[in-house]
């Protein structure tokens, strides 16, 4: 099992390039990644209550939204609700410094190589409670949602899962994604859960098939349908 500690979610359209990159990195620089213990840095407001994420007992998480992309903000709220149905936690918006999580616009220095979002790891140095998103990536609402679920998973202490069906797989592939048995066990070792540790895999959500593009409530499939891979990857 290799670990590609880049904590990123490249879009499915660039997955082949990323798989190649991941393999190269895993073969040539795994020792470097394995010993990395310091989070990325940035010029964002730190969250005074970020240590709440390390609590085993019930967590009360204040979320500060500093992103300029309100769609990301909306999908992030849904992703927090999703995790709050599994982990014994509640969350609220907190625009002050007493937040535990700050959702920020990532800079090119933080989001390199087609990375669209990146979280910090609570147990690493320089943890400030930050999750950075590419505010300009042309993502569908669903992609924003599953990306937010993945990144919040990191904040809850989850590492990448080698099973491609897991939401914690390091690439954003097409197909159903779940919080799988391994993810649940890992969560249970860190936090109180609202579900038994032997609970079956939990679906993260349903993807909207492309043939439904334009349906009243999707709002996102057309982006994927009309944009070319080149147009998408050049955004980075």
> Contact between 7 and Zn ion (CB under 5 A)?
yes
How are strands ordered across the β-sheet holding 59-65?
89-93, 59-65, 101-105, 130-133, 117-119
Q: Which is nearer to Zn ion, 18 or 232 (CB)?
A: 18
Q: Which is nearer to Zn ion, 48 or 169 (CB)?
A: 169
Q: Which is nearer to Zn ion, 172 or 220 (CB)?
A: 172
Q: Which region among 7-15, 23-31, 109-117, 227-235 touches Zn ion (by CB under 5 A)?
A: 7-15
Shortest distance (Å) from residue 118 CB to Zn ion: 8
Shortest distance (Å) from residue 184 CB to Zn ion: 17
Tell how far CA 225 is from the center of its chain.
23
Cα 105 from Cα 133, distance rounded (Å):
5
Inter-CA distances, 35 with 1, 139, 190, Å: 16, 32, 21
Shortest distance (Å) from residue 232 CB to Zn ion: 19
Inter-CA distances, 24 with 17, 19, 27, 40, Å: 11, 9, 5, 22
Which residues neighbour 229 within 8 Å (Cβ) at sequence distance 6 or greater? Answer: 13, 14
Cα 58 from Cα 76, distance rounded (Å):
20
- Minimal CB distance residue for Zn ion: 7
DSSP 8-class letter at 168: T
Cα 107 from Cα 20, distance rounded (Å):
24
Q: Which is nearer to Zn ion, 62 or 153 (CB)?
A: 153
Site string for Zn ion, 67-106 (x = CB under 5 A): ----------------------------------------
Q: Which is nearer to Zn ion, 155 or 221 (CB)?
A: 155
Shortest distance (Å) from residue 154 CB to Zn ion: 6
Return the bridge partners of 166, or none: 178
Shortest distance (Å) from residue 54 CB to Zn ion: 19
The phi and psi torsions of 77 (rounded to 5 degrees) equal -60, -45
Q: Which is nearer to Zn ion, 105 or 172 (CB)?
A: 172
Q: Which is nearer to Zn ion, 7 or 134 (CB)?
A: 7
Shortest distance (Å) from residue 5 CB to Zn ion: 9
Q: Which region among 1-9, 48-56, 59-67, 137-145 touches Zn ion (by CB under 5 A)?
A: 1-9
- In the complex, which residues of this chain contact Zn ion (CB under 5 A)? 7
């Amino acid at each position: 099992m290799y670990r590609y500690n880049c904590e990123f979610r490249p879009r499915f359209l660039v997955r082949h390039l990323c798989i190649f990159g991941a393999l190269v990195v895993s073969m040539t620089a795994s020792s470097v990644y394995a010993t990395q213990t310091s989070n990325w840095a940035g010029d964002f407001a730190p969250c005074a209550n970020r240590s709440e994420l390390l609590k085993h007992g019930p967590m009360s998480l204040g979320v500060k939204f500093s992103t300029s992309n309100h769609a990301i903000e909306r999908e992030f709220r849904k992703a927090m609700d999703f995790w709050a149905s599994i982990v014994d936690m509640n969350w609220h918006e907190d625009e002050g410094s007493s937040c535990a999580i700050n959702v920020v616009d990532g800079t090119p220095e933080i989001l390199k190589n087609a990375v669209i979002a990146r979280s910090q790891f609570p147990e690493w140095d320089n943890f400030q409670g930050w999750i950075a998103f590419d505010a300009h990536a042309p993502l569908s609402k669903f992609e924003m949602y599953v990306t937010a679920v993945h990144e919040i998973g990191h904040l809850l202490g989850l590492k990448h899962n080698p099973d491609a069906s897991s939401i914690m797989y390091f690439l954003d592939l097409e197909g159903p994604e779940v919080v799988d048995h391994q993810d649940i066990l890992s969560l249970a070792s860190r936090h109180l859960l609202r579900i038994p540790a032997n609970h079956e895999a939990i679906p993260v959500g349903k993807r909207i098939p492309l043939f439904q593009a334009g349906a009243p409530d999707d709002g996102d499939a057309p982006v994927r349908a009309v944009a070319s891979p080149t147009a998408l990857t050049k955004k980075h």
